[in-house]
Chain A
Amino acid sequence: MPAIDIRALVHAYADGTQALRGVDLRVDVGEVVAIVGANGAGKSTLLKHLNGLLLAASGSVRIEGIPLTRARLPDVRRRVGYVFQDADDQLFMPTVQDDVAFGPMNLGLAASEVRARVAEALAAVGASHLALRAPYRLSGGEKRAVAIAGVLAMAPSILVLDEPSTGLDPAGRRRLIELLGRLPQTRLVATHDLGLVLQLCPRALVLHEGRVVADGAPARLFADAELLRRCQLESPYEGLKPARSRCAS
């Protein structure tokens, strides 16, 4: 049974814009898949269908065999952990500890079990020392780590991350890549960061105007200049010529 099974997914926004024009996607358990594409290609929209933030107007979405309908939302949300693009939207409790406990508390777990999950999740992301901090006192990387911990505490089997390396400095980005590499869950990462894709994901999907136009090994995809140009992407290997000074010397 695939972890994620999407068939012919179509989505249009309220103002009529076609965001997804028939997407097929199959992800097996344990895979790490990147979803790349220009802004407006439909990455976030696709991701939001994975935990029911958006419900399929036409087409089907199955998570671990469970069809994604309104009735089954709680089941699906227990299995799919969603990490948002802006960590400030996700860390909505006054302290790190409270925030990571939010998910387990909603699962109805006992207080001792909640505490154990919180400790475990914070340790997994290397943020145990931040337990009593308020979110506004965290750096971008720390916020990202805590957001991931908040999701891990619910013991999901699938992780969905929306632009996780945005706003991270090189050290933070390095730690993120290492962390994501260590985790056992099935991972789906929507990102512009092609370097991250190369280091982390053995498989990448290219979205363009609501359709999947390529699906395969990133190294091969990013060598296809024509594909990159058509999808308004830039190769991670190019553009590294240092700027030359224009001053008359």
Chain B
Amino acid sequence: MSRLAAALQDLRALDSLALRETALARRDPRAKLAVTLCFIVTVLSFGRYQVAALLPLALFPAVLSAQAQVPGRVLRRTLWLASPFALMVGLANPWFDRTPMLALGGIELGAGWVSFGSILLRVTLTVSATVVLLGSTGMHALCVGLSRLGVPRVFTAQLLFLQRYVHVLAEEALRISTAHRLRAAPGRRLPLSLYASLMGQLLLRAFDRAARVHQAMLARGFDGELRIVEDWRWQRADTLFVGLWCGYFALARAVDLPLALGRLITNVWA
């Protein structure tokens, strides 16, 4: 299934990014998590009809993705895949909300279009922030950061194991579906009965593999508690990182920067 293969590729691409040695990778994962969440909350706190005012916030993903060397290709691909649901629902806005809001030349733009534009911008900003967060952090660091923030170890251990074995199982699923496609009549989808036995086999293999992994864990002294190496200590650079960015977000939220800039420019012109 090409969807599966594509998903596998995406997982691997982002995963390998996090291993690069950048200044951003050295930041404490808690700092990055905090700033990203603050960013998302700020973006979403804008009024539904505000579009331009959101733009200064784009500085955050722009700067960070440059610092983390996230390739534009990865960013674009994730944006392309992101939130079709939000966009579909957003498209309803121009339909339902027709109050004229902007008049430009002779054209009247309904408020619904403005709020749709706002939704588009929100999607772009929140998605790029998420990608950058991951691109610069990696699952291990993230889990360390999360446990230090009080997230239960059961959950962080689950994230680590999930991320490790998703590749193995997705590959097995890919092999199974390819083997089926090679023998099935062209274009025929998997009927439910066949699905049950093929995916059922995969499920059984998952159970068996889990039992073997369990034995391997026991063989190396596992006693029920997963201990992971924690390499990060909060530094002054982290406090600076959080302070500066959150300060910028607060500024962008409080003051409509593009409007101010625009006024400045038009006044200079006039």
Contacts and interface: CB of A to CB of B under 8 A. Distances in A.
Given A77-B221, A105-B227, A106-B227, A53 B215 contact: yes
Interface string A100-142: 0111011100010011000000000000000010111100000
Interface of B is mostly: helix
A224 interface: no
B41 interface: no
12 contacts: A74-B221, A78-B221, A81-B219, A84-B219, A89-B212, A90-B216, A101-B229, A107-B221, A134-B167, A136-B168, A136-B171, A150-B220
B73 interface: no
A35 interface: no
Contacts of A78: 221
Question: What DSSP secondary structure best describes chain A's contact surface?
Answer: helix
A93 B164 contact: yes
Interface string A74-107: 1001100110101011101111011001110111
Given A94-B160, A98-B140, A111-B230, A136 B12 contact: yes
B221 A106 contact: yes
Interface of B: 12, 15-16, 19, 139-140, 160-161, 163-165, 167-168, 171, 209, 212-213, 215-223, 227-230
B44 to A, nearest CB: 31
Contacts of B209: 88-89
B139 A136 contact: no
A94 B228 CA distance: 11
Nearest to B212: A89
A68 B198 CA distance: 41
Interface residues of A, number: 35
Nearest to A103: B220
Nearest to A90: B216
B164 A105 contact: no
B215 A94 contact: no
Nearest to B230: A111
A154 interface: yes
Contacts of B213: 89-90, 92
Contacts of A134: 12, 15-16, 164, 167
Contacts of B140: 94-95, 98
A89 B216 contact: yes
B221 A92 contact: no
A135 B229 contact: no
Contacts of B168: 88, 136
Nearest to B162: A94
Contacts of B16: 134, 137
Contacts of B227: 102, 105-106
Contacts of A132: 19
B212 A103 contact: no
Contacts of B19: 132
B160 A93 contact: yes
A151 interface: yes
Nearest to B211: A89
Nearest to B228: A98
Given A89-B213, A95-B140, A98-B228, A106 B164 contact: no
The 7 tightest CB contacts between A and B, nearest first, are A106-B221, A105-B227, A136-B167, A103-B220, A89-B212, A82-B219, A90-B216
B215 to A, nearest CB: 5
A165 interface: no
Contacts of A94: 139-140, 160, 163-164
B25 to A, nearest CB: 11
Contacts of B164: 92-94, 134-135
Nearest to B170: A136
A186 interface: no
B220 A106 contact: yes
Given A53-B215, A134-B167, 6 more contacts: A53-B219, A77-B220, A88-B168, A92-B164, A95-B140, A150-B220
A51 interface: yes
Contacts of B220: 77, 102-103, 106, 150-151, 154
Interface string A131-169: 010111100000000000011001000000000000000
